[in-house]
Structure 1
Amino acid sequence: MTVRRGPLVVVGDVLLDVDVHGSARRTCPDASAPVVDVASRERRPGGAGLAASIAARANAEVVLVTGVGGQAGADVVRLLGDRVRLAGLPFSGETPGKTRIRSGGRTLLRADSGDGRVLDGPLDPELPGLLRSAGAVLVSDYGRGATANPFLRRALRQLPADVPLVWDPHPRGGVPVGRADLVVPDLAEAVAFTGGSDVDDPALLARALLRRWGCGGVAVTLGAAGAVVVPQAVTGRIPVQPAPPGADACGSGDCFAVITALALADGADPVEAVTEGVRRAGRFVASGGAAQLSEPEPRPGNGGTGTAFEVAERVRRDGGRLVVTGGCFDLLHPGHVRLLERARELGDALVVCLNSDDSVRRIKGAHRPLVGHADRKRLLEALESVTAVVVFDESSPCALLERLRPDVWVKGDDYDVATLPEAEVVHRHGGRTVLVPQIAGYSTSRLLTSLRSAG
Structure 2
Amino acid sequence: MNAPAPLLVVGDALLDHDLSGRADRLAPDAPVPVVHSARRVTRPGGAALAACFAAQDGREVTLVTALGDGEAGRTVRLLLRGLVRIVELPLAGELSCKTRVLAQGVPVLRLDDGEGRASGTTDEALAAVAAAGAILVADYGRGAVDVLRDALVRAAARVPLVWDPHPRGGSPVRGTRLVTPSAAEARGFAAHTPAGPGTPPGPSGTPAVTKTGAGAHVRRSADDARALIRAWGVTSVAVTLGAEGALLSHGGDPLLVSAPQSVEGDACGAGDRFAATAAGLLADGALPETAVQEAVQAATRYVEDGGAAGLRLDAAPALPDAGTGVAEADTAPDAFALATRVREEGGTVVAAGGCFDLLHAGHVALLQAARRIGDCLVVCVNSDDSVRRRKGGSRPLVPADDRVRVLLALGCVDAVAVFDEDTPERLLEELRPHIWAKGGDYALAQLPEARLVRSWGGEVVLLPYLDGRSTTRLAERAALGPGPATGDRRAARRR
Same fold (TM over 0.5): yes
C-alpha RMSD of the superposition: 4.4
Alignment of 1:120-135 (within 5 A): 121=120, 123-135=121-133
Alignment of 1:30-429 (within 5 A): 30-69=29-68, 70-119=70-119, 121=120, 123-149=121-147, 152-159=148-155, 161-195=157-191, 196-197=198-199, 199-201=217-219, 202-233=221-252, 235-242=254-261, 244-245=263-264, 247-291=265-309, 292-293=311-312, 322=350, 324=352, 342=368, 345-349=371-375, 350-353=377-380, 390-394=417-421, 406-408=436-438, 428-429=446-447
Give ranges in structure 2 of 5+ residues lacking alignment: 192-197, 200-210, 212-216, 324-334, 357-363, 390-394, 448-461, 470-495
Aligned length: 387
Task: Give the 3 Å change call, closer, same or farther, for CA 324–29 of structure 1 in structure 2.
Answer: same
CA distance in 2, matches of 1:395, 1:409: 18
Per-residue deviation, 1:277: 0.9
Contact 1:116/1:144 (8 A) holds in 2: yes
When structure 1 is superposed on structure 2, of 252-261 and 38-47 the one drifting more is: 38-47
Contact 1:325/1:409 (8 A) holds in 2: no
Q: Secondary structure at the match of 1:267?
A: coil
Per-residue deviation, 1:25: 2.0
Per-residue deviation, 1:174: 1.1
CA distance in 2, matches of 1:72, 1:187: 31
In the other structure, the counterpart of 2:479 is none
CA distance in 2, matches of 1:53, 1:253: 13
Larger radius of gyration: 2
Contact 1:323/1:346 (8 A) holds in 2: no
Contact 2:383/2:400 (8 A) holds in 1: no
Residues 32-53 of structure 1: CA deviation (Å, up to 9, x unaligned)? 0111113311100111111111
CA distance in 1, matches of 2:240, 2:231: 18
Q: Secondary structure at the match of 1:159?
A: helix
Task: Give the 3 Å change call, closer, same or farther, for CA 83–115 of structure 1 in structure 2.
Answer: same
CA distance in 2, matches of 1:354, 1:277: 44
Q: TM-score, normalised by structure 2?
A: 0.67
Q: Secondary structure at the match of 2:53?
A: helix
Task: Give the 3 Å change call, closer, same or farther, for CA 391–99 of structure 1 in structure 2.
Answer: farther
Task: Give the 3 Å change call, closer, same or farther, for CA 400–42 of structure 1 in structure 2.
Answer: closer
Task: Give the 3 Å change call, closer, same or farther, for CA 88–325 of structure 1 in structure 2.
Answer: closer
Residues 220-244 of structure 1: CA deviation (Å, up to 9, x unaligned)? 1111111111134452111113354
In the other structure, the counterpart of 1:441 is none
Contact 1:259/1:273 (8 A) holds in 2: yes
Task: Give the 3 Å change call, closer, same or farther, for CA 47–398 of structure 1 in structure 2.
Answer: closer
Contact 1:167/1:176 (8 A) holds in 2: yes
In the other structure, the counterpart of 1:23 is 22
Residues 130-159 of structure 1: CA deviation (Å, up to 9, x unaligned)? 11222310001112222333xx11100101
Q: TM-score, normalised by structure 1?
A: 0.72
Q: Secondary structure at the match of 1:146?
A: coil
Instruction: Report % sequence identity.
Output: 45
Per-residue deviation, 1:177: 0.6
Contact 1:407/1:426 (8 A) holds in 2: no
